[in-house]
Structure 1
């Protein structure tokens, strides 16, 4: 029997996109997968259509911006340079299933799917992806709402990262997504010992404006000499400008180190050498307020204690499994205060709890959700 033909669309650098890589690990069980996105060919796929890096994923051309401003959304559904490139590259091909990652490719997915089902993995809350940026809020947010309203009710399956965001999709678009958290694959690791005189903080992720990463640097400067901070940051699309600003803010403090970014699959083993994974993201928009990010699960698989702000979904996971400490708010003072009373014994206990919870908080559950969707849509 021939294998299913599956198209997976993600206008991201897929080989560095942890969520899409996990998705692909399941898709390739069920068929021959063609990916379309930026960057090199991801592992395990039959074919990769590489979108040139300069072909943007939104209609950020003079014509596109004008049409967005006029709310002529239907006319720009396929107009973004990256979307148009993928449309031309795959026109006339047929697939048994199309997977659309994020709202911006929904129109493209349905255009290429024909009669095949579409699985829409919405990741986060599309209408407020970057509403802290005024131009995005005014021009792009209404376009995201249009795409969701027009296409999500037609999708054969919809998924998102957390229960609170799933409720928003149901409230505004009448679809209730299944939840696939950003959980990392199970890593067979042990907690490392905690030094009596040192607490080794670590953070991994993108050097992206809006995540207030400078707070971590400022907090460590307020803490006593026991605390160090290692950063594994991927430069953003700004050419590393924000990352440079963070380096300057650290001001040569020897306790704050900037390391080369690490591939998603290597993160748990790299982070395992530390003690506490930190992430204090202010609620600048809905996705920040409700985030349940990759890094929380990476920290668990690395067998780390966790230090976070009062972010709803993360606090729920942290308290259920007793993984660490929650700051009272998102100020530098509160973030530092949540750490300064920690003892080596406290950190060791939280790391042991991460170890005990690692299987339950791994990708095992999310893999089963994905397999259920694929069996249903492919009749496998």
Structure 2
């Protein structure tokens, strides 16, 4: 099938800050495809979006829990049952049921993009009944998928062993930066990403209660399940002047802050195989921005960064130890070298090469 085929992409978020999806869409547009992007609308939280392709965000009756996922898939299914398209791209397991069933009924092609090892995220570790439901959904639909890609070779290997599904590898690298503009670094630490359990955020906030980090700012970008708890913790410690929650921002605005931060943190705990198998996307953004990195000792991250002299590996999640390590990094004679090395290393990781794999999988699905 020639370019100009129509593709509908579905995701369970509100489209504002999903950088992977923005990159996928930009690359598909460049290949001449017509796109529509579907997501959800969060009252009081979703910001206006301006994209060079149509978007639709569903207003749902429920915003979390089983009823949210049922409501989302119901809306998606009936929309996709009657919409015009040649191919569907389902992003993660929580949109796959509606996409698969609609594609099956309509006789249309479908591609699956696995952003994470969904059934092994930390949020499901202590919820065996909920995890079992998602595992049943995974077993029901994934073996039927012929065209798929994911962010990690480990996730691809697991799905191949479990279900015989062959997944391409499309890592979540940033677009190549042709011109590098040097930004003046500030005495600030940045965290960007989901505000969920297992990210080391509570410990990070408590670390800033130490006198060691007096005068150092902490910028937190993103939203998530424990956002209210983190804001309340910051307030209870009297750190509102030092710690700023920016919420979700468009990639271009977020990038400006990342370039100005001295250190970027990625403090994930080894909770669930999803964290252990995938490399946090934020690391590549930190590197490209020339921001020194403080990173967790997760195997995949160690393979990426150990020996590269772009920062330090986390010694401990203890708040006082964390404060000391951040203080030591900010005072280190190596800080400027780490920042320069980060920018140099980032040149090895560009979305442009990953997009070629994604485009081939899309073309294969359309021509199948």
TM-score (norm 1): 0.83
Aligned to 2:109: 117
Moved more, 152-161 or 260-269: 260-269
Aligned to 2:233: 246
**Partner deviation per Cα, 1:260-297 (whole Å, 9 max, x = no partner):** 54322322222111211012121222223334122111
1:361 to 316, 331, 349: 349
Q: 1:218 to 1:237 in 2, by over 3 A?
A: closer
How far apart, in 1, do the equivalents of 2:125 and 2:229 lie?
Answer: 15
Unmatched 5+ residue regions in structure 1?
62-78
Q: 1:257 to 1:34 in 2, by over 3 A?
A: closer
1:372 to 326, 351, 360: 360
How far apart, in 2, do the equivalents of 1:363 and 1:94 lie?
Answer: 29
How far apart, in 2, do the equivalents of 1:293 and 1:234 lie?
Answer: 14
Q: 1:316 to 1:337 in 2, by over 3 A?
A: farther
TM-score (norm 2): 0.85
Q: 1:207 to 1:111 in 2, by over 3 A?
A: same
**Partner deviation per Cα, 1:137-183 (whole Å, 9 max, x = no partner):** 33332222222222223223222222222222223222242222222
- Contact 1:122–1:160, Cα closer than 8 Å, also in 2: yes
Q: 1:57 to 1:230 in 2, by over 3 A?
A: closer
Q: 1:256 to 1:59 in 2, by over 3 A?
A: closer
Aligned to 1:220: 208
Aligned to 1:202: 190
The size of the alignment, in residue pairs, is 356
Q: Are 1:127 and 2:119 matched, yes or no?
A: yes
Aligned to 1:68: none
Map 1:1-380 → 2, pairs under 5 A: 3-28=4-29, 29-39=31-41, 43-45=51-53, 47-56=54-63, 59-60=66-67, 80-113=70-103, 114-132=106-124, 134=126, 137-187=127-177, 188-192=179-183, 199-222=187-210, 224-225=212-213, 228-236=216-224, 240-252=227-239, 254-259=241-246, 261-319=248-306, 321-342=308-329, 343-379=331-367
How far apart, in 2, do the equivalents of 1:53 and 1:307 lie?
Answer: 38
- Contact 2:146–2:166, Cα closer than 8 Å, also in 1: no
- Contact 1:308–1:327, Cα closer than 8 Å, also in 2: yes
Tell me the secondary structure at the aligned position of residue 275 of structure 1.
strand
How far apart, in 1, do the equivalents of 2:87 and 2:357 lie?
Answer: 17
Tell me the secondary structure at the aligned position of residue 50 of structure 1.
strand
- Contact 1:205–1:234, Cα closer than 8 Å, also in 2: yes
- Contact 1:292–1:314, Cα closer than 8 Å, also in 2: yes
Instruction: Report the Cα offset of residue 351 of structure 1.
Output: 0.8
How far apart, in 2, do the equivalents of 1:282 and 1:290 lie?
Answer: 12
Instruction: Report the Cα offset of residue 4 of structure 1.
Output: 0.1
Moved more, 148-157 or 182-191: 182-191
How far apart, in 1, do the equivalents of 2:141 and 2:246 lie?
Answer: 41
Unmatched 5+ residue regions in structure 2?
42-47
How far apart, in 2, do the equivalents of 1:7 and 1:321 lie?
Answer: 40
Tell me the secondary structure at the aligned position of residue 16 of structure 1.
coil
Tell me the secondary structure at the aligned position of residue 15 of structure 1.
coil
**Partner deviation per Cα, 1:292-319 (whole Å, 9 max, x = no partner):** 1221111112110100121222222212
Higher relative contact order (CA 8 A, sep 6+): 2
- Contact 1:206–1:236, Cα closer than 8 Å, also in 2: yes
How far apart, in 1, do the equivalents of 2:213 and 2:86 lie?
Answer: 58
How far apart, in 2, do the equivalents of 1:312 and 1:54 lie?
Answer: 40
User: Superposition RMSD on alpha carbons, in Å?
Assistant: 2.9
Instruction: Report the Cα offset of residue 92 of structure 1.
Output: 3.0
How far apart, in 1, do the equivalents of 2:107 and 2:91 lie?
Answer: 19
How far apart, in 1, do the equivalents of 2:174 and 2:156 lie?
Answer: 20
- Contact 1:219–1:333, Cα closer than 8 Å, also in 2: yes
